[in-house]
Amino acid sequence: MKTLIRQPQNSRNERPFMIIWETTQACDLACRHCRAEAQPLLHPNSLSTEQAKRLLEQAASFGKPSPIFIFTGGDPFKRPDLFELVKYGSDIGLATAVSPSGTPLLNRDNLQKIKDAGAKAISLSIDASNATRHDDFRRVQGSFDWTVNGWKAAREVGLKVQINTTVTRYNLHDLPRVFKLVQEMKAMTWSLFFLVPTGRGQAEDEVSPAEYEAVMHFLYDVSKYISAKPTEGHHYKRVVLQRSIIEEKGLPPEDYISLHPIYYELKAGLDKIVAEKGLQPREQIRRTPMHINAGNGFVFISHLGEVFPSGFMPVTAGSVKEKSLVDIYRHSDLFRTLRDPAKLEGRCGLCEFRDVCGGSRSRAYAVTGRPMAEEPFCTYEPGTFPFQAELGERLAAMG
């Protein structure tokens, strides 16, 4: 039986699959949703070069296979020692990637330097299909063009490119056209970020829970043509399982799942692009969601060295200036709680999908102040999926 939800090779209790380091909060953009509330200049108490190298060593000490280590920000290109640190991380065996901002610093010279330092991939943000909408969201004119040109340059120097799109009320109806751009530019992966109201991100920027559900079903359809995944949309894993079971039975999904009108609008836009470009479905969905969550296969370190379960959950479990990242990840009460599905509350605690989903712990905290509260933007009522026997077989196969 095909495993649709990918699992890390090693126990998430012992090591994270992905480590995100906020190299700095300095950035020349002023994005509407910015988690970091980015500032123009480096903070004087940010990790020094030597402290950052100790962090990289701690990340490598989790063992093999190495966690993916992502240099993010702010804009990591605002750190003068970025190239030195990427090289150091790569030299000690980390799989490194960089997540720069769409500014004039995103140029071929800088991209060649991080490639030469050992980075294998970058991620870039495209939040609309055209410059007017994207630049309005990023609040700096020219950001769209800098990002697209940087995307082209990254491919030319041999870096893989993931495109991130934050789903908000500003771009909901534009998503099929963003898909077209991502497909034409041959991105490695398209990741849809489901907004968490923290930092500059406001609850009024979000779409409704039912519209998020519609976007997840659209993302499932998109994944037939390109590699696609969600960020902070953990109940997409439920959608993948539901849709795959229904499709294998040759049944129409609308007869078994309540689909919002937005889904039909997005699906029509996708179908039009597929027809126009003559796209053919991939033989199989090669990239399915990795089962990681805040503090559960995932860890975030701030520019000051504080350790958080996620960049969207500002609850510190310690500082790498005082304690090993390995020790914090494995033994802190917060992280151990987040890895225990028996402590999930409300519908999440009752849900048959809880062991492969768990809901966004970051959004639960942002909305309720409780990390283990039920996912407030999931519309599913536990036990209502009609094909429970087939689902049980798939869940059992995932261990």
| Residue 243 lies inside a defined structural domain of this protein | no
Specify if 53 maps to a domain.
Answer: yes
Q: What is the pLDDT of residue 1?
A: 41
Conformation bin of residue 143: beta by default, left when phi > 0, alpha when psi is -120 to 50: alpha
Angle (nearest 5°) at CA 208 between 204 and 213: 145
Q: If you average pLDDT over residues 281-295, what whole number do you get? A: 76
In the prediction, which pLDDT does 281 show?
92
Residue 263 counted as domain residue:
no
Residue 333 lies in a domain: no
Asked if residue 125 belongs to a domain, the reply is: yes
85 lies in a domain?
yes
CATH number at residue 127: 3.20.20.70
Q: How many domains does the chain have?
A: 1
Give the span between the Cα atoms of 25 and 90, in whole angstroms: 23
**For the chain, percent of residues with pLDDT exceeding 70:** 92
Q: What is the mean pLDDT of residues 31-44?
A: 61
Quote the pLDDT of residue 33.
Answer: 53
Q: Which domain holds residue 130?
A: 18-207
pLDDT in tens, 192-234: 999 887 655 466 678 999 999 999 999 999 999 999 999 999 9
Mean pLDDT of 251-268: 96
Residues 112, 57, 321, CA angle at the centre, nearest 5°? 110
pLDDT tens for residues 330-373? 999 999 999 999 999 999 999 999 999 999 999 999 999 999 99
Residue 282 above 50 pLDDT? yes
Q: What is the mean pLDDT of the chain?
A: 91
The CA distance from 28 to 46, in Å, is: 17
**Contact status, residue 345 vs residue 373, Cβ threshold 8 Å:** yes
Residue whose C-alpha is closest to residue 223's, from 183, 194, 263: 183
pLDDT in tens, 109-151: 999 999 999 999 999 999 999 999 988 887 788 999 999 999 9
Q: Is residue 137 part of a domain?
A: yes
Q: Work out the pLDDT band at 31, boundaries 50, 70, 90.
A: low
pLDDT at 5 over 80: no
Q: What percent of the chain has pLDDT over 90?
A: 80
> What CA–CA distance (Å, rounded) separates 212 from 218?
10
Phi-psi region of 216 (alpha: psi -120 to 50; beta: other; left: phi over 0): alpha
Is residue 2 predicted with pLDDT exceeding 70?
no
Categorize the per-residue pLDDT at 399 as very low, low, confident or very high, splitting at 50, 70 and 90: low
- Give the per-residue pLDDT at 156: 96
Tell me how far apart the alpha carbons of residues 251 and 266 are, in angstroms, rounded to a whole number.
20
pLDDT of 396 reads 86
Name the pLDDT band for 41 (thresholds 50, 70, 90). low
Q: What gap in Å lies between CA 171 and CA 178, rounded to an integer?
A: 9
Tokens of 304: 């000051």
Residue 225, in any domain of the structure: no
**Measured between alpha carbons, how far is 31 from 38 in angstroms, rounded to an integer?**
8
